[in-house]
């Protein structure tokens, strides 16, 4: 009788211990799984933010470039002293130079007298920009050189778009400045940023939405372009600043049923795992890998393994600080690949990615160990030449870069030819701060592209 009772008691204790151990290790396993998923989500969020920032930067750059056409029109007005007689021919010549521009117009006294293309924009011809307003009062508020941007809203011509308006002031016979009128550029969405290729986000497994505030609807949110799939709650929102107007690009990773299946498998693995310690070791290694992945994503471009913009900022600040201490020179070069979009369109994105890897290796081969190279956009790179003692040194490197990029390139039997346009800014000559040098080099690169490509320009200098 006593033996039976003892056996029953021991059996009960073993059952309770087994249950306790099961619960303990199940809780430990569940905690580790939750941490793994959290680390993976954090890494995915960092990657998503990097991609979204790149697209947002491209949108901002395209819109800013299109809006700069108003400055060119203003120069024409000044040169013609307000009487631009051959405006249609000049505007038609300008339009291809400003991708994203839908129409260019001039508005003496605020009335749109001339616009190109004329046929599809007849509806806005002679439109008074001060309609239903006190003209004199509004003109007094205008500041010379202050470009205003409005959009998105439905244009008079019909489509959704935006406009940029630059006030122009001239001198009268007595030398007094007076308000002449506006130069304007109209943008049509989504054609204005077609080159950004937002739709590629869907091919990469992301949902997106580009929105702005509609000034004609009390600044209500207006969707400019969005993906077919809706955004998830774990979205990344990147602001886009456009002359006092803020747009937002929201991007999230597409959701899949595989996430639930994987979670179920992990919990089943915990429940049935005979080798719990081995599983724990695997999980800890995976967690460490996720942290390393997060660190790599934060500082390096995943395609080329080159430093990204964040690491470039750190290295460039360090190079400028060292140059100031050692009294040596630094040259910042902005590199853009000519013809890369055509290669992408003709041969596909996989070939385009391989091309970027090969070109990255070629660019690195032109540099010294103390120089810096980073990928900052789809086909854009920044190179920092340190310890430069003469402009001739920098010119030799840049010419070497142009030559090496221009070499024949074959990928899976297909020729994928690209060239390079470079813009360079010199430390202390073009600025003392990293942002100044990057902006000056970027502007010089655009001049190199407009002047025929496959060449380099120094900021504020003639072609080399």
Question: Tell me: the pLDDT tens digits for 250-297?
Answer: 999 876 545 667 777 777 877 776 455 544 544 545 576 677 677 777
Region of poorest pLDDT, from 48-52, 185-189, 285-289, 442-446: 285-289
Query: How far apart, in whole angstroms, are the C-alpha atoms of residue 315 and residue 372?
Result: 7
pLDDT, position 195: 86
Structure tokens given for 384: 């920092």
Closest CA to 334 of 394, 429, 421: 421
Contact 424, 410 (CB under 8 A): no
pLDDT, position 4: 44
> Which domains does the chain possess?
68-192 (3.30.450.20), 309-458 (3.30.70.270)
What mean pLDDT comes out for the span 233-260? Answer: 83
Query: How far apart, in whole angstroms, are the C-alpha atoms of residue 209 and residue 252?
Result: 9
The pLDDT confidence band at residue 5, using thresholds 50, 70 and 90, is very low
Tokens 């949902």 label which residue? Answer: 207
pLDDT, position 464: 41
Residues 6+ apart with CB under 8 A from 146: 167
- More confident position, 263 or 358: 358
- More confident position, 386 or 273: 386
Query: How far apart, in whole angstroms, are the C-alpha atoms of residue 375 and residue 429?
Result: 25
The total of other beta-carbon atoms located within 10 Å of residue 34's CB is: 12
Tokens 């992408």 label which residue? Answer: 344
What mean pLDDT comes out for the span 14-38? Answer: 74
Helix and strand tally (H, E) in the chain?
12, 16
What mean pLDDT comes out for the span 323-338? Answer: 94
pLDDT, position 216: 84
Q: What is the 3-state secondary structure (H, E, C) of 63-109?
A: HHHHHCHHHHHHHHHHHCCCCCCCHHHHHHHHHHHCCCEEEEEEEEC
Query: How far apart, in whole angstroms, are the C-alpha atoms of residue 170 and residue 108?
Result: 11
Residues 6+ apart with CB under 8 A from 136: none
Structure tokens given for 139: 């003109």
Closest CA to 273 of 24, 29, 18, 32: 29
Tokens 């103390």 label which residue? Answer: 370
The pLDDT of residue 243 is above 70: yes
> What are the angstrom distances between the C-alpha of 429 and each of 70, 330, 425, 461?
28, 10, 8, 11
The total of other beta-carbon atoms located within 10 Å of residue 79's CB is: 9
3-class DSSP assignment, residue 247: strand
Query: How far apart, in whole angstroms, are the C-alpha atoms of residue 245 and residue 227?
Result: 23
pLDDT in tens, 97-135: 887 788 999 999 999 999 999 888 888 889 999 988 998
pLDDT in tens, 210-230: 999 988 888 899 999 999 988
Q: Is 327 left (phi over 0), alpha (psi -120 to 50) or beta?
A: left
pLDDT, position 111: 93
Query: How far apart, in whole angstroms, are the C-alpha atoms of residue 62 and residue 192?
Result: 8
Sheet holding 177-188, edge to edge: 114-116, 101-108, 177-188, 160-171, 148-154
Q: Could you give the maximum distance between any two Cα atoms of the chain, in Å?
A: 125
Query: How far apart, in whole angstroms, are the C-alpha atoms of residue 442 and residue 8?
Result: 82
Tokens 């991007």 label which residue? Answer: 251
The DSSP secondary-structure symbol of 159 reads S
Average pLDDT, the chain: 86
Query: How far apart, in whole angstroms, are the C-alpha atoms of residue 54 and residue 48?
Result: 10
pLDDT in tens, 171-191: 988 889 999 999 999 998 888
Q: ∠ CA 357-359-364 to the nearest 5 degrees?
A: 95
pLDDT, position 16: 67
Contact 423, 442 (CB under 8 A): yes
DSSP string of 190-231, one letter each residue: TGGGGGG-TTHHHHTTEEEEEEEEEGGGTTEEEEEEE-SSPP
């Amino acid at each position: 009788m006593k033996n039976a009772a003892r056996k029953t008691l021991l059996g009960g204790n073993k059952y309770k211990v087994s249950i306790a151990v099961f619960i303990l290790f199940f809780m430990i396993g569940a905690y580790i799984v939750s941490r793994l998923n959290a680390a993976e989500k954090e890494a995915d969020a960092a990657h998503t933010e990097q991609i979204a920032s790149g697209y947002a930067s491209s949108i901002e750059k395209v819109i800013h470039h299109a809006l700069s056409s108003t400055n060119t029109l203003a120069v024409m007005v000044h040169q013609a002293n307000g009487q631009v007689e051959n405006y249609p021919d000049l505007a038609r010549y300008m339009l291809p130079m400003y991708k994203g521009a839908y129409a260019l117009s001039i508005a003496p006294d605020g009335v749109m007298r001339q616009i190109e293309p004329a046929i599809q924009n007849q509806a806005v011809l002679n439109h008074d920009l001060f309609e239903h307003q006190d003209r004199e009062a509004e003109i007094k508020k205008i500041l010379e050189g202050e470009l205003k941007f409005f959009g998105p809203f439905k244009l008079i011509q019909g489509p959704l778009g935006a406009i940029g308006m630059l006030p122009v002031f001239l001198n009268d016979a007595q030398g007094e400045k007076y308000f002449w009128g506006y130069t304007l550029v109209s943008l049509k969405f989504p054609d204005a940023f077609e080159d950004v290729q937002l739709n590629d986000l869907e091919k990469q497994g992301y949902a997106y939405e580009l929105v702005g505030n509609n000034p004609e609807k009390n600044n209500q949110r207006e969707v400019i372009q969005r993906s077919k799939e809706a955004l998830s709650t774990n979205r990344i929102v990147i602001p886009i600043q456009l002359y006092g107007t803020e747009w937002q690009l929201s991007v999230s990773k597409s959701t899949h049923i595989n996430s639930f299946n994987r979670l179920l498998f992990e919990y089943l693995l915990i429940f049935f795992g005979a080798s719990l310690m081995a599983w724990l070791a695997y999980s800890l290694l995976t967690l460490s890998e996720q942290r390393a992945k997060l660190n790599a994503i934060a500082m390096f471009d995943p395609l080329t393994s080159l430093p990204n913009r964040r690491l470039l900022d750190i290295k460039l600040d360090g190079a400028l600080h060292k140059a100031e201490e050692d009294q040596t020179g630094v040259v910042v070069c902005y590199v853009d690949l000519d013809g890369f979009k055509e290669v992408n369109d003709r041969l596909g994105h996989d070939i385009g990615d391989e091309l970027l890897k090969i070109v990255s290796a070629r660019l690195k081969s032109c540099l010294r160990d103390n120089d810096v190279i980073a990928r900052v956009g789809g086909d854009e790179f920044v190179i920092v030449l340190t310890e430069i003692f003469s402009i001739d040194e920098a010119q030799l490197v840049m010419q070497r870069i142009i030559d090496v990029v221009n070499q024949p390139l074959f990928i899976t039997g297909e020729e994928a030819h690209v060239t390079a346009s470079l813009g360079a800014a010199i430390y202390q000559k073009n600025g003392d701060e990293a942002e100044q040098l990057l902006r000056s080099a970027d502007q010089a690169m655009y001049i190199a592209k407009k002047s025929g490509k496959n060449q380099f320009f120094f900021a504020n200098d003639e072609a080399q």
